A and B are shown apart, each in its own frame.
Chain A
Amino acid sequence: MLMSGREFFLNRYRELGWKHEQPKLRQAIRINTANTGREDLIKRLKSLGIKLEKVSFVEDGYWICEAKFSVGVTSEYLLGLYSIQEAAAQIPATLFSELKGKIVLDACAAPGGKTVQLADLMQNTGAIIALDVDKRRTIALTNHLERCRVKNAIVYQLDARQASRLGLKFDCILLDVPCSGNFAADDDWFARRTIEDVERNAKVQKEILTEAVNVLRDDGELVYATCSLEPEEDELNIDWAVKNLALETEKIGCYGREALTSVFGKRLDGSVANGRRMWPGRTQGFFVCKFRKCEAE
């Protein structure tokens, strides 16, 4: 049986309860409130012919309704007043209960959209330790930090699975793990992906989760996110984490559907439902789950 291709994956999604619809993706931006006021920026962009509409589920997110040119070439963008960031991708950083003054690990940080958002939410207090394993991507990350005038980040070119080498304990950890992606954001996705890719990514994600728990302080918060629709990288990993690591999931009230607790006939831990699954539609496909580290007895 062929374990790849459009029909193979669409059949899986049907089994998971979703009927394929062509997503209507819209470009979104996030205002960097450390660098500008919301109303001021909206007015400035309007004067350039860029019309925005508020994204209802994230505080500083706006859809681009109309633009005469790319929103990635304005002086406002180059001055770091806003970032171009997919609407669903704006959710994970907002799920931490308190960020100001904290020591935060952004373990798979490049290209840096969420790192900049964390800095914004932290108002440049505390510190963000941002890691990426790839040099080219790490350079892109630092360009993003420089453009957005982030002041509280320390960047290492380091594999997230080696985070304990830093000898630090973190209050909060964001794991926007490398994943298989989804078809909504990539026209060739069905042609390029196989179930073996998904399984390989799921294995790496488990390794990253394990290392993250090692460096998370007791009672610390961890947010896990992927832009994959494959349950092996989402609910099955969450189920594995609550059964094998010192983690428990926490309820989050964000956009999206309750995560699945039954996957291809397998019954998962009930607390997996605390995660949120976003099927492609107004946003790309996305998955997010918040954990708290259980205190050592």
Chain B
Amino acid sequence: MIKPITDFVKQFNASFSWDERLIVWKKNRYFLITGNMKRLLNEGFFYVGTYLGKVKSEQFFPSFSLLQMVSEQQTNKVYVDRKSAWLFICGRDIFKRGIVRAKGAKGEGSYTLVLNEYEECLGFGRIVCDLDMAEGGVAVKNISDVGDFLRRERR
């Protein structure tokens, strides 16, 4: 049942050993709950515990809580400066010069989390050049960022 999630986190070289009984599925959305919550849960719930993400058109869209959980592991991540962090949450890509340091996979095509100076996960993107070799230009294409919370309100 949780294959879409495990496949997704693998792309960041991360893994989780969740008790599958504590992951619940509602329509196309996954949630992580506690044993106590499971006892209280009625079938008609709308949302519960920690939202992990949803499957749409066979593609998994992670929640920011899941991305934060992934970022707490040894995984692919880039740390960006303050200006780049701001531009990223406005939906923009990350330029090479905005990356302060990188961990994990750095090659073109890899997925990476984007973290700010406080090591908070702002979202994720796809690396579009070799981070060790590139001298400038766009380095990480924005796929999803926390600015989405504001964009949802405007929809």
Contact = CB atoms under 8 A, between A and B. Distances in A.
A156 B45 contact: yes
Contact of A153 (B48, B64, B68, B89): B48
A181 interface: no
A98 interface: no
Nearest to B118: A44
A11 interface: no
B18 interface: no
Contact of B147 (A78, A143, A154): A78
B116 A157 contact: no
Nearest to B150: A73
Nearest to A47: B82
Contacts of B47: 138, 141-142, 145, 153-155
A129 interface: yes
B1 interface: no
A129 B40 contact: yes
Interface size class of B (residues with CB under 8 A): 20 to 34
A167 to B, nearest CB: 7
A287 B44 CA distance: 33
Contacts of B51: 142, 145-146
Interface in A57-100: 72-73, 75, 78-79
Interface of A: 44, 72-73, 75, 78-79, 103, 126-127, 129, 138, 140-143, 145-147, 149, 151-158, 166-168
Interface of B: 34, 36-37, 40-42, 44-51, 63-65, 68, 85-86, 89, 116, 118, 120, 122, 146-147, 149-150, 152-153
Q: List 9 A-B pairs, minimum CB-CB distance, nearest first.
A: A155-B47, A78-B146, A142-B47, A155-B46, A154-B48, A147-B149, A151-B50, A157-B46, A146-B51
Given A127-B37, A141-B47, A142-B47, 9 more contacts: A78-B149, A129-B40, A138-B47, A146-B51, A146-B149, A154-B37, A154-B40, A154-B47, A154-B48
